[in-house]
Amino acid sequence: MEAIQMANTKIDEIRTTFTDWLHAQNDEFKNRLTQQYNDTFNCFVRPQYDGSHQEFPGLDRKALGIEDLYSSQKDAV
């Protein structure tokens, strides 16, 4: 347990030191670093589906006891 606490303390220390160092940098450097980070790690965009246009003529909503499908259900089809 003591080793885990020491490791967590060291992690917090590293994060704090890095944050302090980063805030001390000029704006141009911070912008370049931000751009490089985003280009490297934020390059995946989860697809957004829109099924609002879909109709299901054979679906008996009354038998299911619903007025309409949820938008998430239409989006998944």
What is the residue extent of each domain of the chain? 1-44, 51-77
pLDDT attached to residue 1: 84
Q: Which single residue is written with the structure tokens 């030191």?
A: 17
At residue 3 the predicted structure's pLDDT band, cuts being 50, 70 and 90, is very high
Q: Are 24 and 32 in contact (CB under 8 A)?
A: no
Could you tell me the pTM of the whole model? 0.50
**Four-CA torsion 31, 33, 36, 42, nearest 10 degrees:** -80
Q: Which residues contact 51 (CB under 8 A, 6 or more apart)?
A: 71, 73, 74, 75, 76, 77
- Over residues 51-63, the pLDDT tens digits come to 999 999 999 999 9
Share of the chain above pLDDT 70, in %: 100
pLDDT attached to residue 40: 92
pLDDT attached to residue 44: 83
